[in-house]
Copies of this chain bind each other. A is one copy, B any other.
Amino acid sequence: MTARTDTEQVELANTTFYEVMERSDFESLSGLWLDGDDDGVSCVHPGWPVLSGRGEVLRSYALIMANTEYIQFFLTDVEVSVSSDTALVTCTENILSGGPAEESGELGPLVGQLVVATNVFRRTSEGWKLWSHHGSPVLAETEEEPDDETPA
């Protein structure tokens, strides 16, 4: 089953994006972002201002990888919308991460974090590539969540 639908290809590209982060694989991550003279890529990490352009975006990931000893993403609510050569993905990133330990060399304390992301991909001759990533912390429950009666 090699022939995949656009939606399946985009979902795979989205999953790969998080897997390379988990592996701290900067080379592969760089290859997932659009590359070109006028790529127009942008990235917002949770709580950060906008980063624009491939150079600035990739430097931020190098910095984050250098300061993250361990990170794991459990993706939920993945929704894909494809229109011609552009695809929009929204998902919830249930993150478990730990920074480097200060002294002992052991893993620092693990921290759980709830982030929602909007990822925009563009179709290229080398597959679907990231045009934009915007992640933001979920700070409040809304009244749209009927499954959870208890306040966070």
Interface residue A81 (Cβ < 8 Å from any Cβ of B): yes
Is A79 within 8 A of B49, CB to CB? no
Number of copies of chain A assembled together: 2
Chain A residues packing against B (C-beta within 8 Å): 38, 40-42, 44, 46-52, 56, 60, 63, 77, 79, 81, 83-86, 88, 90-92, 116, 118, 120, 122, 131-132, 134-145
A48-B138, A50-B90, A56-B144 known; A122+B79 contact, CB < 8 A: no
- Bound-state Cα–Cα, A78 to B145, Å: 33
15 A–B contacts, CB within 8 A, in A order: A42-B118, A44-B90, A44-B118, A44-B134, A44-B136, A46-B136, A47-B136, A48-B140, A81-B131, A83-B85, A83-B131, A84-B85, A86-B86, A134-B134, A137-B137
